[in-house]
């Protein structure tokens, strides 16, 4: 263990709002690794005040001499506080009020709140710049993986051309478990909830919103852009069937929920959606509740950041790492550039992009259906690379699943295929389009 060489310097005085899993994790980490933390911070670290919904409840951690403050926004007004840690959550409400109050009073702010940063990050960064306060949120993206530091510092000399990755552990657990067991979505979701990998209301995760929050933050940092969460196109994993997992495997792919951002041509494209990932790609081997982010730099090449994306330990690790940066005075600009230099980027037209797609059609088992599909693809100018047709048992409705993999085609052409088939009596369910991630 490293010796504590920090006692000659004034302490970093911390106020902590929120004593749930993350907040308690921060307290435990500071206590367990105090000598290491203080040696690397170059000064003592003290938690002087805490706030939570309930006072006096045992949380299994020693809070020492920290004052309990019922009104969390009052933490920002204390003269004995240098930095506020927000571990409450929520894009708005008390968390945002506390963040604004802390930065307005010139106090540093450390948060794991991805929703708040995705929706209000630019305004908070401007407020931090106006008061010369530190704003840090490493824990908001991918838990304990230092991807924000990696982009902002390690890859600082590169023009980042593309950022993509597996940004939600719940979805990755569900999809990789479906892959391993052959079970369908609803059954694996119920298992994930029972094991604590999915919330009782899993909508933010399985509908892709959580991943979109993280992607918008990464895009802003990587491209020097203003955060544009509203510009993220989002599709979740509810419609992915066990049959799609099996078809993908037969074709040499796995299915993962992937967030992708690029700024080709100076226009920003941000999307979260299930993709077919080639088995040769590093993301294909990311299983369970793990996150992985890939950044492509013009000189560094492909950089892969992988690890635990959530949980008390990894999140606390990222929060305390930010506290160490603030203690040393090395926090830097929150989005890699000063807030006033972040550029608004025009949104890209996804129809201009070309790629290969997996399209699953669920159709009635009768003659002429396949001809109708192929005619629509011909008329839209989309050629077929491969096709798999599998029927279902009569007791399952007698439907036929037709899985098509296309050659490279503009996205607007694939959209035209769906438009041509819209309302067809041959289709018994809406088609599912999954892009194929380029290797």
3-class secondary structure, 236: coil
Q: What pLDDT sits at residue 6?
A: 43
Q: What is the pTM of this model?
A: 0.93
Catalytic residue among 107, 149, 214, 416: 214
Q: In CATH, which superfamily holds the domain spanning 147-308?
A: Dihydrodipicolinate Reductase; domain 2 (3.30.360.10)
Question: Is the pLDDT assigned to residue 382 strictly greater than 90?
Answer: yes
Question: Is the pLDDT assigned to residue 1 strictly greater than 80?
Answer: no
The sign of the torsion formed by the CA atoms of 41, 44, 49, 55 equals positive
Question: Is the pLDDT assigned to residue 2 strictly greater than 90?
Answer: no
pLDDT tens digit sequence for 310-366? 888 999 999 999 999 999 999 989 999 999 999 999 999 999 899 999 999 999 988
Can you tell me the mean pLDDT for 76-87?
96
Contact 209, 243 (CB under 8 A): no
Can you tell me the mean pLDDT for 127-147?
94
Fold classification of 12-140 is: Rossmann fold (3.40.50)
**Residue that the structure tokens 């500071």 belong to:** 30
CATH of 352-435, one of 1.10.10.10, 3.40.50.300, 2.160.20.10, 3.30.70.260: 3.30.70.260
Q: How many CA atoms lie within 13 A of 369 on its CB side?
A: 18
Q: Is 114 a catalytic residue?
A: no
In angstroms, the CA 170 to CA 185 distance is: 12
pLDDT tens digit sequence for 242-301? 999 999 999 999 999 999 999 988 999 999 999 999 999 999 999 999 999 999 999 999
**Beta strands across the sheet bearing 357-363:** 384-391, 400-406, 357-363, 427-435
Distance of CA 337 to the CA centre of its chain: 21
Can you tell me the mean pLDDT for 184-211?
93
Q: What pLDDT sits at residue 311?
A: 84
Mean per-residue pLDDT of the chain: 92
Contact 301, 134 (CB under 8 A): no
Tell me the helices (H) and strands (E) count for the chain, helix number first.
13, 18
Could you tell me the residue ranges of all domains in the chain?
A: 12-140, 147-308, 352-435
């Amino acid at each position: 263990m490293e010796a504590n060489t920090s006692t000659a310097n004034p302490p970093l005085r911390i106020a902590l709002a929120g004593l749930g899993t993350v907040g308690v994790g921060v307290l435990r980490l500071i206590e367990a690794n105090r000598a290491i933390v203080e040696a690397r911070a170059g000064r003592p670290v003290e938690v002087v005040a805490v706030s939570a919904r309930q006072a006096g409840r045992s949380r299994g951690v020693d809070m020492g001499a920290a004052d309990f403050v019922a009104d969390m926004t009052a933490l920002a007004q204390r003269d004995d506080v240098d930095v506020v840690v927000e571990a409450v959550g929520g894009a708005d409400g008390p968390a945002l009020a506390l963040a604004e109050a802390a930065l307005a009073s010139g106090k540093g702010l450390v948060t794991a709140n991805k929703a708040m940063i995705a929706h209000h990050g630019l305004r908070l960064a401007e407020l931090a710049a106006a008061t010369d306060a530190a704003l840090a949120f490493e824990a908001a993206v991918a838990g304990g993986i230092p991807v924000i530091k990696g982009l902002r510092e390690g890859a600082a000399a590169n023009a980042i051309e593309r950022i993509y990755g597996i940004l939600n552990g719940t979805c990755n657990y569900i999809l990789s478990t479906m892959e391993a067991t052959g079970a369908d979505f609803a059954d694996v979701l119920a298992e994930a909830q029972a094991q604590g990998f999915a919330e009782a209301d899993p909508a933010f995760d399985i509908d892709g919103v959580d991943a979109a929050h993280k992607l918008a933050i990464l895009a802003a940092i990587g491209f020097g852009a203003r955060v544009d969460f509203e510009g993220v196109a989002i599709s979740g994993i509810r419609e992915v069937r066990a049959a799609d997992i099996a078809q993908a495997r037969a074709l040499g792919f796995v299915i993962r929920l992937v967030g992708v951002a690029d700024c080709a041509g100076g226009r920003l494209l941000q999307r979260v959606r299930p993709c077919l990932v080639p088995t040769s790609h590093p993301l294909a081997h990311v299983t369970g509740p793990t996150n992985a982010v890939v950044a492509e730099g013009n000189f560094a090449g492909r950089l892969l950041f992988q690890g635990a994306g959530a949980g008390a330990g990894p999140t606390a690790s990222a929060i305390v790492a930010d506290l160490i940066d603030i203690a040393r005075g090395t926090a830097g600009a929150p989005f890699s550039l000063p807030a006033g230099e972040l550029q608004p980027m025009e949104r890209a037209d996804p129809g201009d992009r070309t790629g290969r797609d997996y399209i699953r059609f669920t159709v009635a088992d009768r003659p002429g259906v396949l001809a109708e599909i192929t005619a629509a693809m011909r008329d839209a100018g989309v050629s077929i690379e491969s096709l798999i047709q599998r029927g279902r048992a009569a007791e399952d409705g007698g439907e036929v699943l037709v899985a098509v993999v296309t050659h490279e085609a503009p996205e607007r052409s694939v959209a035209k295929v769906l438009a041509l088939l819209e309302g067809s009596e041959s289709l018994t369910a809406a088609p599912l389009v999954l892009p194929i991630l380029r290797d």
